[in-house]
Structure 1
């Protein structure tokens, strides 16, 4: 059932905590509405445009917050109907894998290693399954990432995530894509603390281009290798755990005598 929020007034106002990322503030506000009983299990949330207007935020930030709550099993999206409250027992959320991920209960190294495993597999699949339209969309999204000002951290993160999410969709493996989406909130936190320089930003955009280059040539090995190299950059920058050996290119790609790109294919 839809939510009658005409009486709520300022209750949708976000916390003025400028130190926290906007999606986290939105997530907190929606949690408060659920805990306070304003939103109950089975209730339909206002539409995304309505919620964005009430919260005075961009829809991209709102969608990130909703995805966080979705991964925790608190809300769900019903195709063609909108977002609904799935559960109000928030105390039990962290018992589930999604809740543990959303609560950042795994170390960065583990998170990034799983990300590399999922995305490199997706890149290989996209090389043999993605259509021309999907590849054109990836190129368009990378141009958005290239244009993002380095000092606009939120735009850098969102444009980068749009590119990687589109690549996951291009794998045409729904389960693989859903597994990746579980990692997204934690990955965004990793990127937020990376503070890339202009040189790193340019390098990352160029690596996106290289991945697309291999995808257009339907080269699974080349696409997987290019994606691994790309993701290992962030992994090596952020990994501080010296208690176990770090992953390398060979960990995910392995040694092959075949050329990375065979022009006769």
Structure 2
């Protein structure tokens, strides 16, 4: 059931704290609503636009907070229905494996290397599983990304996240999607520190288009290779000063020793 809006109001105001990222403040506020009984197990949260308006925050920051709570098992998203409160026993959350994962801070290089593994696999799966509507949605998200002004960092991050999240969903693998969502908060932090140039932004948009081109042709090897090239470019841009041994194209791409997905089954 939907949460009762009559209980909303001043209680949704965020406590200003310039030392903490906005998604953390939103997460804290949502936790307070659950602890205080305003939100109960099974309640449907207001829609993202309504909730962002109540909190006076951007939807991208709200979504990051919701994803953090989702990883902790506190809320869940039901496709086509919205966000719901899943559990209210927050004292037990720290014992929850996903909760510990959400609270952990990972090195940017580690995040991007795991992202490579997940998203290249998702691209090959999407090439054989995605429907035309899902591919059209990907194209629409990339158009938004192309139109975004580089100076508007939040818009660039949100548009890029929507593209990559849509591709993950198009793979139709629930576990892969959950694993990817665990990375999203860290990846957003990565992008905020990157400050890409217009040249990098245009290159990324063109690479998105190439990925879609292979997906529409159900070419799983081409889609995976295009995604690998795209993510390794970002990997180089974001981790240029890292001291670890670094990945290169040959490290990840090998047509003959990668799993293939049989469309006939």
TM-score by length of 1: 0.83
Distance between the aligned counterparts of 1:178 and 1:257, measured in 2?
26
Secondary structure of the 1:264 match is coil
Unaligned runs of 5+ in 1: none
| CA apart distance, 1:263 | 18
Do 2:7 and 2:38's aligned partners in 1 also have CA atoms closer than 8 Å? no
**Measured at CA, do residues 90 and 250 of structure 1 come closer, stay the same or move farther in structure 2, by a change above 3 Å?**
farther
- Structure 1 pair 192–96 and aligned structure 2 pair: CA distance change class (3 A): farther
Deviation at 1:183, TM superposition (A): 1.6
Shift of 1:3: 4.4
Distance 1:261 1:199, change over 3 A: farther
1:123-134 matched pairs, under 5 angstroms: 123-134=123-134
Whether contact under 8 Å (2:128, 2:261) holds in the other structure is no
SS of structure 1 residue aligned to 2:77: strand
> How far off its partner does 1:135 sit?
2.0
Deviates more, 1:216-225 or 1:116-125: 216-225
Q: 2:77·2:84 contact (CA, 8 Å) conserved in 1? A: yes
- Preserved contact between residue 101 and residue 186 of structure 1 (Cα < 8 Å): no
Deviates more, 1:166-175 or 1:149-158: 166-175
CA-CA distance at 1:224 after TM superposition: 1.0
- Residue 230 of structure 1 corresponds to 230
What is the CA deviation profile of residues 16-71 of structure 1, one whole-angstrom value per residue up to 9, with x for unaligned ones?
44675543332232123334554455554344454233213344543332122111
CA, structure 1 residues 46+146, in 2 after alignment: closer, same or farther (shift >3 Å)? closer
Structure 1 window deviating more from structure 2 (185-194 vs 10-19): it is 10-19
State the distance in 2 between where 1:263 and 1:46 align.
Answer: 39
1:27 aligns with 2:32: no
Deviating more after overlay: 122-131 vs 78-87: 78-87
**Cα gap change, 1:28/1:228 in structure 2, threshold over 3 Å: closer, same or farther?**
same
Alpha-carbon deviations, 1:107-161, whole Å to 9, x = none? 2222211111111011112222223332222111111001011111111111001
1:13, CA displacement in angstroms?
0.9
Alpha carbons of structure 1 residues 97 and 215: separation in structure 2 relative to 1, 3 Å: same
Q: Structure 1, residues 157-182: CA drift from partner, whole Å, max 9, x if none?
A: 11001111111122222322222122
Greater shift in the superposed pair: 108-117 or 242-251:
242-251
Q: Distance in 2 between matches of 1:77 and 1:25?
A: 20
Instruction: Measure how far apart 1:262 and its partner are.
Output: 17
Tell me the CA shift for residue 243 of structure 1.
Answer: 5.7
Q: In 1, distance between residues paired with 2:42 and 2:259? A: 54
Provide structure 2 residue ranges, at least 5 long, that are not aligned to the other structure: none
